[in-house]
Amino acid sequence: MALFGLFNKLGKNNGEMSFWGHIDALRGHLFRSALVVIVIACVLFCFPEFLFDKVLFGPMEENFLTYRAFCKLGHFLNLGEDLCFGKATFHLQSIGLSDQFTSQMWIAFIGGLVLGSPYVLWEVWRFIKPALKEKERKASTFFISSASLLFIIGACFSYFIIAPLMINFLGNYRVSDRIENNFTMDSYISTVTTLTLCTGLIFELPILVYFLTRFGLLSPEFMRKYRKHAVVVILITAGIITPSPDVTSQLLVAFPLYFLYEASIFVSYFVVNRKAKSE
């Protein structure tokens, strides 16, 4: 029904274009979006050394940016070597005959989708633009920009902070010295990509809060009331994914998540205040 409503609005703003005319226009936007994603994926597929050794397997290297930054921070805070970590004691292996080839295709596609997402969102905006009023166009532009920026920030936060800490904790964790850690390549890739994409989606929390508040399903009072519960959940999450029991490394992970929660409260308050003024 929403799709037909959108086509109806588009028809009013684009003269006598028929339903199938809109379908044909939508097909063009989808085709160009898919073409850009495929082209970027093909380019990435041609550079497996960079895609895997430099990017995907970067958190396994001892000189990874995150490990060097944590080590310098530990020395600056006079914690000695407590924050110096990053040496992987595990190895990756490929079991299936086609695992490496399919993994290369999958990672290239994910990279093409992430890098091409701004263009895909732009094509979506071009399609719905004729059906929007001037205020709605400005709001949609802000929404697309904010959603893209939040996702990129979340993905970077996961790749540079959460993923390295998780890899070091789980990769070096042993219940006995008799057990050697040898993980499959698919397991490693699934952990890194899933964690990165999910964290990017978690950072969309302010956008989700915005719509929930507009629909009357959430309020800033509710979020303030359960702030203490949210802090506990955040601290538990930070404690699980940090490799060291010291408070410093846990706070480095917990603080951005708490800031995201507070930002969501502000967004909810802004929506409620704006609705009150318009009534």
75-84 contacts at long range (C-beta below 8 A, 24 or more positions apart): 77/248, 79/246, 79/248, 82/244, 82/246, 83/244, 83/246, 83/248, 83/249
What is the pLDDT at residue 103? Answer: 92
Q: What pTM was computed for the model? A: 0.76
Highest mean pLDDT among 2-16, 76-90, 240-254 belongs to 76-90
Mean pLDDT of 82-101: 83
Which among 96, 110, 95 has a CA at the least distance from the CA of 55? 110
- The pLDDT confidence band at residue 1, using thresholds 50, 70 and 90, is very low
> Residue 12 pLDDT > 60, yes or no?
no
Provide the residue ranges of all domains of the chain, joining segments of one domain with +.
Answer: 2-203, 204-279
Quote the CA–CA distance of 20 and 83 in Å, as a whole number.
61
User: In this predicted model, what pLDDT tens digit does every residue of 129-159 receive, in sequence order?
Assistant: 776 677 666 766 777 788 888 888 888 888 8
User: In this predicted model, what pLDDT tens digit does every residue of 39-85 receive, in sequence order?
Assistant: 999 999 999 999 998 899 988 888 888 888 888 888 888 877 777 87
What is the pLDDT at residue 100? Answer: 92
What is the pLDDT at residue 195? Answer: 81
Give percent above pLDDT 70 in the chain. 85
Quote the CA–CA distance of 199 and 184 in Å, as a whole number.
23
The chain-wide mean pLDDT, for the chain, equals 81
Give percent above pLDDT 90 in the chain. 12
Which among 90, 60, 17 has a CA at the least distance from the CA of 164? 60
> Residue 8 pLDDT > 70, yes or no?
no
